[in-house]
Amino acid sequence: MRGVWTADQVRAAEKQLAERVPETTLMYRAAFGVAIAATELLREHRGRVSGTRVALLVGAGNNGGDALWAGAFLRERGVRVDALLLAPDRAHPAGLAAFRAAGGSALDASTTTAGSVAARADLVIDGIVGLSAHGPLRPSAAALLEHVTAPILAVDLPSGVDPATGEVTGAAVSAARTVTFGGLKPGHVLGAGADHSGHVEVLDIGLTAALGEPDLSLVDASDLARAWPVPGPDDDKYSQGVVGVAAGSAVYPGAAVLVTSAAVRATSGMVRYAGPAADVVRDHWPEAIVTGTVADAGRVQSWTVGPGIGTGDSGRDVLRQVLRAGVPTCVDADAITLLAQNENLWDERDPDTPLVLTPHAGEFARLVGPVRADRVASVRRAAATFDAVVLLKGKTTVIAAPDGRVLVDQARGSWAATAGSGDVLSGLIGALLASGLDPWLAAGYAAAMHSSAAELAARGAPIGASALSAAIPAAIRRARRLD
């Protein structure tokens, strides 16, 4: 897993390090890394380094200091570097002195020539604001940015992106690449921040070891490869877990088929379907064992309940029976709405039964009120409130455990935004729960595999949920590096 640390954690690590390493040394290391990345981008886009033009957008703090020092290094490589100072009186003094000593030219960003300097650059380095950013870019920085056509290299974070939430509420830098220090920050991986950051490179600069436990984690392909259950020599049809699917209705048989499809494809465990769409499910998935009711389903190691069951009496009865079964359960779609509308249904749950709730934003609002701008905080709170894993869907999927652990899955595209794709996700989660995975990891791994399957299925053109489901084996192969 890749860790993500908050600005406060980075500052604490810096403070701890300050006893041994002077602040200027850290800045020097950071700036050197920025300069190297700049030379790589120049070579990529202009075919050379020497003789190119770089413009620095320099704000009032240390982020601007990093940019100025990087500019000084670039001067040594024969680059013409202009620093556009957004707060000339507060530009980092040592950085500015080093930059000028190296032959860099600095001008007030409010002068009329600043725009044309920004427009002529082969590369722009964004040192406007970093960890201490609040709100969108100030108007002066936003106006300057409008002149830029060259690729932008962001120092630490793309300016205008909220470092804590990834939120973009106005003008913001869209970087081709971001060089950050110590570890990833929430602003790189959440919401619009992920797209604004471009390719993110993490430089240790001596901070990483002092960061402690990450605030959030990202699932990477190696986690999926290691943890995804595949049958071994001693496995049989029961040993990877039996998944129960309580989904669909006479009106919505498709939901039952989609959940079942994902559960069948995710692992080699057995799938039992229970509900009014039994015939339709059998027609599509002869390997599933089907019955008309949850009571007749037999033993399972997990349930997925909700998609297409409706929010009326019959749906309520289904949910009640599943909650009483006492096995790990993925509660999705109509089952979430039922829980929101009938608080007494919570009483049916044995407190030891792990639940994974998988709301989209609308269902989340029904459960606990609207998702706040700080999505992670919202989901963390909900997970603690319900003593359940809560997975909030969207391009950025946030998965929180009741103990506060959070996983984030950032989809590379939005191809999964199609009807029924949530049913596929809940089928995947059910299969991983049945295999015995920790519910938080089950939800996180399922979300990551789901977005990978969406990307593979789409390859640049819209898809339906059936195609997404059909790409699950390819996504598993890709994670296991077997494609």
Ligand X SMILES: Nc1ncnc2c1ncn2[C@@H]1O[C@H](COP(=O)(O)OP(=O)(O)O)[C@@H](O)[C@H]1O
Binding-site entries? 62-66, 126, 130-136, 156, 159, 255, 308, 360, 393-397, 422-423
Pairwise CA distance, residues 385 & 373, whole Å: 19
Q: In residues, how long is the chain?
A: 483
Scanning 43-51, 150-158, 291-299, 457-465 for contacts with K ion by CB under 5 A, the matching segment is 150-158
The alpha-helical segments, DSSP class H, found in 106-205 are 113-120, 139-145, 186-189, 191-197
Q: Establish if 130 lies at the interface with ligand NAX (CB under 6 A).
A: yes
Q: Tell me if 255 sits within 8 A of 420, measured CB to CB.
A: yes
Stretch that binds ligand NAX, among 35-43, 137-145, 366-374, 403-411 (CB under 6 A): 137-145
46 is an interface residue for ligand X by CB under 6 A: no
What whole-number distance in Å separates Cα of residue 109 and Cα of residue 263?
58
Name residue 240's amino acid.
Q
Q: For the chain, first and last CA: distance in Å?
A: 22
- Does 393 engage in binding with ligand X (CB under 6 A)? yes
DSSP β-ladder status, 396-400 and 199-203 = unpaired
Binding mask 19-38 for ligand NAX (x = CB under 6 A): -------xx--x--------
- Shortest Cβ 106–ligand NAX spacing (Å): 17
DSSP conformation letters of 184-202: B-HHHHSHHHHHHH-EEEE
Q: Which of ligand NAX, ligand X, K ion, none has residue 26 at its interface (CB below 5 to 8 Å by kind)?
A: ligand NAX
Contact stretch for K ion (CB under 5 A) within 19-27, 108-116, 123-131, 385-393: 123-131
- Residue 372 Cα distances to 236, 337, 365, 377, 397, angstroms: 45, 19, 10, 8, 14
Contacted by 126, from ligand X, K ion, ligand NAX, none: CB < 5 to 8 Å by type? K ion
Among 130, 151, 402, 422, contact with ligand X (rule: CB under 6 A): 422
List the binding residues for (6S)-NADPHX: 62-66, 130-136, 156, 255, 308, 360, 423
How many residues touch ligand NAX under the rule CB under 6 A: the total is 29
Please give the single-letter amino acid code of residue 211: L
Cα(195)–Cα(316) distance, rounded to whole angstroms? 41
C-beta closer to ligand NAX: residue 58 or 400: 58
Task: State which of positions 126-145 bind K ion (CB under 5 A).
Answer: 126, 130
Site for ligand NAX in 42-71 (CB under 6 A): 59-64, 66
Name the residue nearer to ligand NAX (CB basis): 89 or 347.
89
Dihedral of the alpha carbons of 453, 455, 457, 461, in degrees to the nearest 10? 160
Q: Considering CB distances under 5 to 8 angstroms, the limit depending on partner class, which of ligand X, K ion, ligand NAX, none binds residue 114?
A: none
Is position 277 an interface residue for ligand NAX (rule: CB under 6 A)?
no
Q: With CA atoms as reference, report the closest residue to 14 among 22, 134, 66.
A: 22
SS3 32: helix
Q: Is 5 in the site for ligand NAX (CB under 6 A)?
A: no
Q: Which residue is nearest to ligand NAX (CB)?
A: 130
Interface with ligand X, residue 439, by CB under 6 A: no
Q: How far apart (Å, rounded) are the C-alpha atoms in residues 483 and 478?
A: 5
114 lines the binding site for ligand NAX (CB under 6 A) = no
Binding mask 334-373 for ligand X (x = CB under 6 A): --------------------------x-------------
416 contributes a contact to ligand X by CB under 6 A: yes
Sole binder of ligand X in the list 394, 402, 439, 444 (CB under 6 A): 394
Shortest separation between residue 361's beta carbon and ligand X, angstroms: 8
Residues 172 to 191 in contact with ligand NAX, rule: CB under 6 A = 181
By CB under 6 A, the residues from 201 to 240 that bind ligand NAX are 207
Position 423 contacts ligand X (CB under 6 A): yes
Among 159, 260, 410, 452, binds K ion (CB under 5 A): 159
Cα dihedral 396, 401, 405, 410 in deg (nearest 10): -10
Q: Shortest approach of ligand X to residue 348 CB, angstroms? A: 23
Contact 182, 10 (CB under 8 A): yes
What residues are paired with 217 via a beta bridge?
Answer: 3, 407
Q: Does 265 bind ligand X (CB under 6 A)?
A: no
Nearest to 416 by CA among 376, 475, 480, 336: 475
| Position among 397, 435, 452, 466 found at the interface with ligand X (CB under 6 A) | 397
Q: Identify each DSSP E strand in 292-439 by its residue range.
A: 302-305, 329-331, 355-357, 389-392, 396-400, 406-410
Distances (CA, A) of 353 to 43, 228, 463: 56, 22, 35
- 62 near K ion, judged by CB under 5 A: no
Buried b or exposed e, range 161-186, using 16+ CB within 10 angstroms: bbbbbbbbeebbbbbbbbbbbbbbbb
Distance CA 25, CA 31 (A): 10
Footprint on this chain of ligand X (rule: CB under 6 A): 333, 360, 393-395, 397, 411, 414, 416-417, 419-423, 425, 450
Footprint on this chain of ligand NAX (rule: CB under 6 A): 10-11, 14, 26-27, 30, 59-64, 66, 128-138, 141, 155-156, 181, 207
